Structure 1
């Protein structure tokens, strides 16, 4: 992996909610362009854009109807070209969110494919005959609820959709389809785009024969990923993509790989296999799953989070490091404390996350400590998945208040509320009515306030990222977990040669004693602390304040 990739710090911009330039209530490309200095000054050097392609927006743009056109709600191709030019002028890079596991049902390929079994696009999607009684080929369920199979009378067949029924899955076993995808990728790379984050890429290789899946989480249908995650030809197809497209450009290739083990992930990223630079995995996002999957009313255990993240650090040569994104709750609400210790826990989480080995990913708003939304009624939510799971809970006999509380914890809307720029109308996001609710705490939590305060969360992120990018220990140093049995503390070291950095974070809202391993009790230099403390040495007993975090270089 070359030097710029190792020093990459990725800022994920959820374009629809970032900044609105024309007051239609929807974030857009000119709005993003106007805030490039904000992102650069933070310390990020790569901007990942959520899908900006033409789309009916059934799933917020992850249902693409034209890969080579910009969705008019975000602007024009000229707006994109201007954004790309400005990004490069400022020494930044752009990564596009590419969805090639499926398309929109409005895409030309699908509109043609469903007409008959013998046209150019007939085999671009995954079609199967009904069972003898006319029912779906298997019991496989969609990620968003209901069956993963949808019947089309014109073909007298079912097509597969692992996500919404408006998102039919592409048939990667068809070489013509693969070449069509590669051609489209070259279109963007030839424009100067600096890479792709490939959505659900671990699902592109489907089994030749689909079978019924086991039932779990009280659901009527089998899990959508059964038999479809990391299918029989996944590495063959990615190596082909690398050979024909990715290797021809100096770009960042990131693959979203749900339901992938560390051992499998290493196959994706190992440099001698020529596939991807890194993967986006979700094992540590499952630490608070329970009886009803992600929407269960369960609080994470630090030991589970620590063990999962450490496992990936130790078993995968290069990681993508994140705690939140556009599909997850806000990290300070999920893993920290979004009330009394909002600032302290936001800063501690940033230290623990960003200083591990790999590429840091910051989702917009994390750098100012934005929190979950907490709506008062299901009608306030835009999230398709949340509406489906809420209805599922009611069908299970769960009362409305409890069902809403469970949905509130994990709805994707938590991450998708507009960026909180200042304390004026609509948080400075737009002068029009925003497409989604504004978090009402924007008067207390906003960019303008953080930029004016030298001790803000934003300013602390700047310090962390400056340290991360300019310290070889934090780039290439080996990760080692310390005191794995501690119930309150996440501590690890980064070691390169004879140089070592210690990172310690408290995950509890009270003062706690931490017994430091004997070999780490020595002099050195404190590099960061989220409290006003200065240390020239580390005693055997550390007394940490609520959510205190320390970064210490050992002599």
Structure 2
């Protein structure tokens, strides 16, 4: 296939925006849609192909938008529907697609559906949520736990039953076994497709259906005291149920009614289960999010083996994808250090498949220590100290003025102390910055089909080196990455190493000729254009 025959989401790169933290357009300290609109030129300059917005729907903000009270509106904190429509138009004019975060598993407890559901046991919407009587001896119906701490069951004194919430008690789970729920949610998705949205990232999608017999989850034999309390049990009856797949197939059929729309699923599962979400008997998700680079130790041998296993397990015709960071996990520069973050960037942007960049990672933003009085994330209170996600959600660092150019108001979260030097303005014209590295890699990926849609072949490597080949037609690129902090030499007997350096993470070896073997400096990755 030629590059033109691949869809935009196969060729392109997605950029995740956490709207509260990207850019504040009205100086109330919270990012918004006008703020994002004002930075579209930056995103076009950077070279990304799509933006994914974490939820912007009306919400009481118990979980900062992941508790939706209206699926077909815009929360006033982010702007208006007119702001959204303008954002879509202006993004499309720049060749940038717009994806929304669709919270399918649960609503807010303030959603009109839930208010009606809890009003009476006889309510027409009672079965839109998961209600159960107390256990025979009293107490919750079973041992199911909330991912955010404690029991997943909340007692409702007015109607004398428990309702289920996989996350906060303010986020009751929808009953996706109910056809009326299915129709209502598909109608909401259709509303946004008709408005020009290019796809959805489906939140917590592996939670969507629960065991119909409400059986207890078994104990986790590998649980450690340092783990989240949620991991005391194996969630075999609350996640990854087989009945999820027909629901996702329905969503896919809806998406396929429109041109080049994409469905991406948030799924934290072992890779052999993850790949089933491409579809069992019929197509489901275009991209079940592959979080392995988020979760694995930064070890060359583990990661190369993981890449190879993932490639081998992909179903026929399935398109891979890779993620280094998101709003729920520590930033890559904090996990592996800023030197290795450059190597990680080259890995992300040269593997086969669709990459997602988390806002701020392109300038090397790090996790920020949040003082107790400034904590915002409810998980820090429900699951315990250290489990909160505020540190990776801090405001984007645009320049060196107060509040990093994010707002003239009081930022909703503290900024990193390093923002006077770690910011877009400081790095934009620096030929050696990590921002320049991102831009160079994105431009190279766009110019060279071998690096976007080409084949992948793992090559032998030892110790702290990873090596692989990307190829399309006569264009071949060798990528070698040094995960270590010492000089390493690479030689591969399987290919002719003759060629020249196209790009180094040090941004200083372009055009250097290579023959027989390759010397890598500490924390260096290189792309070699092969001529042999």
Q: 2:423 aligns with which of 443, 446, 455?
A: 446
Q: Does 1:229 align with 2:227?
A: no
Q: Does 1:12 align with 2:16?
A: yes
State how many pairs are aligned: 517
Contact 1:112 1:122 in 2 (8 A): yes
Contact 1:420 1:445 in 2 (8 A): yes
Structure 1 residues 223, 479: closer, same or farther in 2, change over 3 A? farther
Provide the residue aligned with 1:329 in structure 2.
Answer: 330
Q: 1:382 aligns with which of 360, 376, 379?
A: 376
- Name the CA distance, whole Å, in 1 between partners of 2:343 and 2:299: 17
- Name the CA distance, whole Å, in 2 between partners of 1:462 and 1:82: 26
Contact 2:252 2:263 in 1 (8 A): no
TM-score by length of 2: 0.92
Question: After the TM superposition, which residues 282-301 of structure 1 pair with which residues of structure 2 at under 5 Å, given as runs?
Answer: 282-288=291-297, 300-301=298-299
Q: Does 1:546 align with 2:522?
A: yes
Contact 1:267 1:273 in 2 (8 A): no
Provide the residue aligned with 1:512 in structure 2.
Answer: 487
Q: 1:371 aligns with which of 353, 363, 366?
A: 366
Secondary structure at the aligned position of 2:154 is classed as: strand
Secondary structure at the aligned position of 1:97 is classed as: strand
1:313-366, Cα deviation, whole Å (9 max, x unpaired)? 33223122111011111111112x23xx3xxx3322111111111111111111
Provide the residue aligned with 2:453 in structure 1.
Answer: 476
Of residues 125-134 and 168-177 in structure 1, the stretch that sits farther from structure 2 once superposed is: 125-134
Provide the residue aligned with 1:292 in structure 2.
Answer: none
Question: After the TM superposition, which residues 213-362 of structure 1 pair with which residues of structure 2 at under 5 Å, given as runs?
Answer: 213=217, 214-215=219-220, 216-218=223-225, 222-223=232-233, 225-243=235-253, 245-269=254-278, 273-288=282-297, 300-316=298-314, 317-335=318-336, 337-338=337-338, 341=339, 345-362=340-357
Provide the residue aligned with 1:51 in structure 2.
Answer: 55
Structure 1 residues 272, 450: closer, same or farther in 2, change over 3 A? farther
Contact 2:108 2:171 in 1 (8 A): yes
1:167-193, Cα deviation, whole Å (9 max, x unpaired)? 111111000100000111111111111
Contact 2:331 2:367 in 1 (8 A): yes
Q: 1:71 aligns with which of 52, 55, 75?
A: 75
> Offset of 1:76 from its aligned partner?
1.0
1:361-401, Cα deviation, whole Å (9 max, x unpaired)? 111111111112134x433332222334435xxxxxxxxxx
Provide the residue aligned with 1:176 in structure 2.
Answer: 180
Provide the residue aligned with 2:103 in structure 1.
Answer: 99
Structure 1 residues 356, 450: closer, same or farther in 2, change over 3 A? same
> Offset of 1:483 from its aligned partner?
3.2
Structure 1 residues 278, 381: closer, same or farther in 2, change over 3 A? same
Secondary structure at the aligned position of 1:170 is classed as: coil
Secondary structure at the aligned position of 1:306 is classed as: helix
Structure 1 residues 535, 89: closer, same or farther in 2, change over 3 A? closer
Contact 1:143 1:224 in 2 (8 A): no
> Offset of 1:11 from its aligned partner?
0.9
Contact 2:100 2:197 in 1 (8 A): yes
Question: After the TM superposition, which residues 158-177 of structure 1 pair with which residues of structure 2 at under 5 Å, given as runs?
Answer: 158-177=162-181
Contact 2:129 2:163 in 1 (8 A): yes
- Name the CA distance, whole Å, in 2 between partners of 1:333 and 1:313: 28
- Name the CA distance, whole Å, in 2 between partners of 1:141 and 1:271: 28
Residue ranges of structure 1 left out of the alignment (5+ in a row):
289-299, 392-406
Structure 1 residues 22, 521: closer, same or farther in 2, change over 3 A? same
Of residues 98-107 and 320-329 in structure 1, the stretch that sits farther from structure 2 once superposed is: 320-329
- Name the CA distance, whole Å, in 2 between partners of 1:224 and 1:85: 45
Provide the residue aligned with 1:404 in structure 2.
Answer: none
Secondary structure at the aligned position of 2:100 is classed as: strand
Secondary structure at the aligned position of 2:72 is classed as: strand
- Name the CA distance, whole Å, in 2 between partners of 1:543 and 1:525: 13
Structure 1 residues 29, 271: closer, same or farther in 2, change over 3 A? farther
Secondary structure at the aligned position of 2:500 is classed as: strand
Structure 1 residues 145, 120: closer, same or farther in 2, change over 3 A? same
Structure 1 residues 530, 285: closer, same or farther in 2, change over 3 A? closer
- Name the CA distance, whole Å, in 1 between partners of 2:260 and 2:216: 39
> Offset of 1:49 from its aligned partner?
0.6
- Name the CA distance, whole Å, in 2 between partners of 1:436 and 1:334: 21
Contact 1:229 1:259 in 2 (8 A): no
Secondary structure at the aligned position of 1:69 is classed as: coil
- Name the CA distance, whole Å, in 2 between partners of 1:86 and 1:29: 12
Provide the residue aligned with 1:28 in structure 2.
Answer: 32
- Name the CA distance, whole Å, in 2 between partners of 1:220 and 1:134: 23
Contact 1:328 1:414 in 2 (8 A): no
Structural RMSD (CA): 2.1
Provide the residue aligned with 1:502 in structure 2.
Answer: 478
Structure 1 residues 414, 514: closer, same or farther in 2, change over 3 A? farther
TM-score by length of 1: 0.88
- Name the CA distance, whole Å, in 2 between partners of 1:315 and 1:129: 42
Provide the residue aligned with 2:499 in structure 1.
Answer: 524
Of residues 279-288 and 49-58 in structure 1, the stretch that sits farther from structure 2 once superposed is: 279-288
Secondary structure at the aligned position of 1:12 is classed as: strand
